[in-house]
Amino acid sequence: MTAMLRLDNISAGYGSFQALFDVSLTVDAGEAIAVIGPNGAGKTTLLRAISKLIPVTQGDLSMEGVRYNDIAAHEVISMGIAQVPEGRRLFPRLSVEENLRMGAFIPAARGHFDERLEFVYSLFPRMKERRLQLAGTMSGGEQQMCAIGRALMSGPKLLLLDEPSAGLAPVIVQSIFELVKRIRAEGYTVLIVEQNIQQVLKVVDRAYLLETGRIRMSGPAAELLASDEIRRAYLGIA
């Protein structure tokens, strides 16, 4: 079976600084996969490489068996990959609904705008209540919902989530991970980068541990959660 997303020995970085070294991973259709690791490990860089926001200097990126190293960043969404960036990056002076409309700008999504909007509002009833509110005036948790909703408006095959719990209150963090479970239950394939290791390993199937730009460990989420090494290094459990 062809993996939905496949990375073969990817290296990438910024100018002369190399941030990723020979990273290989796969995401199969219907899976939820986490990339975990400390701050500065290269997790966000990995998502930026997948989204073609930075060039890959070595290795191959493929989506549904099609190599896409050479396409422009704006074409990635047409391949079915949508990213929710770290920090949400909403248009603060536009309303919730206007932000959602921005997610459906590709021609293939425009014709399905109404049904996609209905779907997003069914996932996030609060967004429907706030649809005319300026996005910048909402709470952090609501803005995160709006950012996820905007990504879903393109009808993606693969949803990339970059640190969705960052900067949110603990009670809100819980609801964001519940949302990941719901999106997953709707049949979406999810790749999530997250520092909140204990929480994220409870909602994904498999995980990769990234440290200093290299994959150090991978396996079923439950296995990593039970790993002495991870418990000691990241969960503060001796």
Backbone phi, psi, residue 105, to 5°: -80, -20
- Annotate 212-223 with b (16+ C-beta within 10 A) or e (fewer): ebebebbeebee
**Mean pLDDT computed over 174-202:** 91
Q: What is the pLDDT of residue 172?
A: 85
DSSP state of 44: H
Question: Comparing C-alpha atoms, which of 10, 38, 45, 44 is closest to residue 24?
Answer: 10
Is residue 56 a contact partner of residue 10, using CB atoms and an 8 Å limit? yes
Label residue 31 by pLDDT band (50, 70, 90): very high
Label residue 206 by pLDDT band (50, 70, 90): very high
Place of tokens 């909403």: 90
pLDDT at 14 over 60: yes
**Mean pLDDT computed over 186-199:** 92
pLDDT at 218 over 80: yes
**Structure tokens of 111?**
């014709």
Domain residue spans in the chain?
A: 1-77+194-238
**Structure tokens of 182?**
């719901």
pLDDT at 238 over 60: no
**Mean pLDDT computed over 138-153:** 92
Q: Which CATH class is domain 1-77+194-238?
A: alpha beta
CA distances from 177 to 150, 171, 192, 209, 219 (A): 17, 11, 10, 19, 20
User: In whole angstroms, what is the distance from residue 207 CA to residue 141 CA?
Assistant: 24
Please state which of the ranges 134-143, 167-176, 212-221 shows the lowest mean pLDDT: 167-176
Label residue 167 by pLDDT band (50, 70, 90): confident
- Annotate 166-186 with b (16+ C-beta within 10 A) or e (fewer): bebeeebbeebbebbeebbee
Question: Comparing C-alpha atoms, which of 68, 66, 65 is closest to residue 56?
Answer: 68
Place of tokens 């704006």: 74
Q: What is the pLDDT of residue 1?
A: 62
User: In whole angstroms, what is the distance from residue 54 CA to residue 23 CA?
Assistant: 15
Label residue 104 by pLDDT band (50, 70, 90): confident
Label residue 237 by pLDDT band (50, 70, 90): low
Label residue 231 by pLDDT band (50, 70, 90): confident
Integer-rounded Cα radius of gyration of the chain: 17
**Mean pLDDT computed over 55-69:** 96
**Structure tokens of 55?**
């060039």
**Mean pLDDT computed over 214-224:** 95
**Structure tokens of 104?**
């459906």
Label residue 236 by pLDDT band (50, 70, 90): low
